[in-house]
Amino acid sequence: MKLVKPFRHLLDAPWFYRLGFAAGRHVPKSVLYRVADLVGDASRLGYPARAAAVRANMRRVFPGAPPAEIARLTRCVFRNFTRALVDYGRFPSMTPEAIHAEIAVFEGRENMDAALSSGKGIVLVTGHIGNWELGSFHFGQNGVKTNVVTVREGRPEIDAIREAHREGHHVRTLVMDGSPFVVIEMMAALRRREVVALLVDRWGEEGAVQAEFFGAMHPFPRGPFALSRATGSLILTAFVVREGNGYKVIVEPPFVASGDEAEHARTVAGALERVIRRYPDQWYNFTPID
């Protein structure tokens, strides 16, 4: 499996993380959000190629939308992205109870309950939408052993900060570094009936299966389906999106990969399409999906 490295913001630096964690302890959320909106607007203007990519993606999602609506959605994507970074800075100083309180609505709780009570491992697949880190913290704080699959950012201090942040919420980081041992670790975790979480909407062609996504073929990783077949684990598609002053969890019905990979990829792609259409201004994909 080969992840595509995410967009790196100018503020993706150790000093900003430390500043953000400090601000999260002492500055009201409403004030932080106002600052985040200003930073988001500056980022949109300062990264024109990224803004163009977001506009192109929004046109794929809403092909008939007028230019003014595409521009509005693009502005909101950058603002919401920086708001998500603000929340990431707030979480370390929050109690488990406060983190649970952030999730105001749980859509598809029966699907989550069915997966957790199955006695199987769970391959949790999601996308770069909403606040995916909050979902892993929610699992970890509820006593569900959770492993997040990620790539090195290229800045060891930031990698260390993020891993320590997850460990503080009982979440383990598994790094995709080209070594076969990480796949062995994922399989071992699933056989222990743990959760292994992956982002699947931004992958390279290597190790991918094609599925229709917003009207064109798009690569999705084979890894989740291979892991499910090898361990008998469930695949659970889930998202955490901001709604109002809190967050909403959306969980699709679980399934076990047993047949055509393209069919399973289409199931995952369909879940992503539905949530992106509902919350397009929280889809943080700064690379064109064409």
Give the residue from 142, 141, 32 showing the smallest Cα distance to 87. Answer: 32
58-110 pLDDT, tens digit each: 999 999 999 999 999 999 999 999 888 888 878 777 777 887 888 888 999 99
Is position 9 within any domain?
A: no
In this predicted model, which residue has the larger pLDDT, 251 or 161?
Answer: 251
Distance separating alpha carbons of residues 149 and 175, to the nearest angstrom: 6
Q: Answer for the pair 153, 9: CB distance below 8 angstroms, yes or no.
A: no
Distance separating alpha carbons of residues 235 and 125, to the nearest angstrom: 7
Least confident of 79-88, 99-108, 151-160, 267-276: 151-160
Is position 166 within any domain?
A: yes
Structure tokens at 219: 């690569």
- Residue ranges of the alpha helices (H) in 91-211? 96-102, 109-116, 132-141, 156-167, 181-191
What is the structure's pLDDT at 289?
Answer: 84
Q: How confident is the model at residue 7 (pLDDT cuts 50, 70, 90)?
A: low
What is the structure's pLDDT at 280?
Answer: 98
Angle between helices 132-141 and 156-167 (to 10 degrees): 40
In this predicted model, which residue has the larger pLDDT, 23 or 153?
Answer: 23
Above pLDDT 90, what percent of the chain? 55
When the pLDDT of each residue in the chain is averaged and rounded to a whole number, the result is 87
Is position 159 within any domain?
A: yes
- Residue 241: count of CB within 10 angstroms of its CB: 23
Least confident of 12-21, 139-148, 275-284: 12-21
To 5 degrees, how large is the angle CA 175–CA 150–CA 224? Answer: 100
What is the structure's pLDDT at 195?
Answer: 95
- Residue 243: count of CB within 10 angstroms of its CB: 17
Is position 49 within any domain?
A: yes
What is the structure's pLDDT at 18?
Answer: 67
Stretch 170-178: mean pLDDT: 83
Q: Tokens 């996308």 identify what position?
A: 127
How buried is 98 (Cβ within 10 angstroms: 0-12 exposed, 13-18 middle, 19+ buried)?
exposed
Stretch 13-39: mean pLDDT: 78
Number of domains, the chain: 1
Q: Answer for the pair 282, 77: CB distance below 8 angstroms, yes or no.
A: yes
Q: For residue 197, what are the CA distances in angstroms to 42, 123, 160, 249, 259?
A: 32, 6, 19, 15, 21
Stretch 120-124: mean pLDDT: 96
Give the residue from 267, 247, 206, 256 showing the smallest Cα distance to 226. Answer: 256
Domain assignment of residue 192, given as a range: 14-282
Is position 3 within any domain?
A: no
Is position 5 within any domain?
A: no
Q: How confident is the model at residue 171 (pLDDT cuts 50, 70, 90)?
A: confident
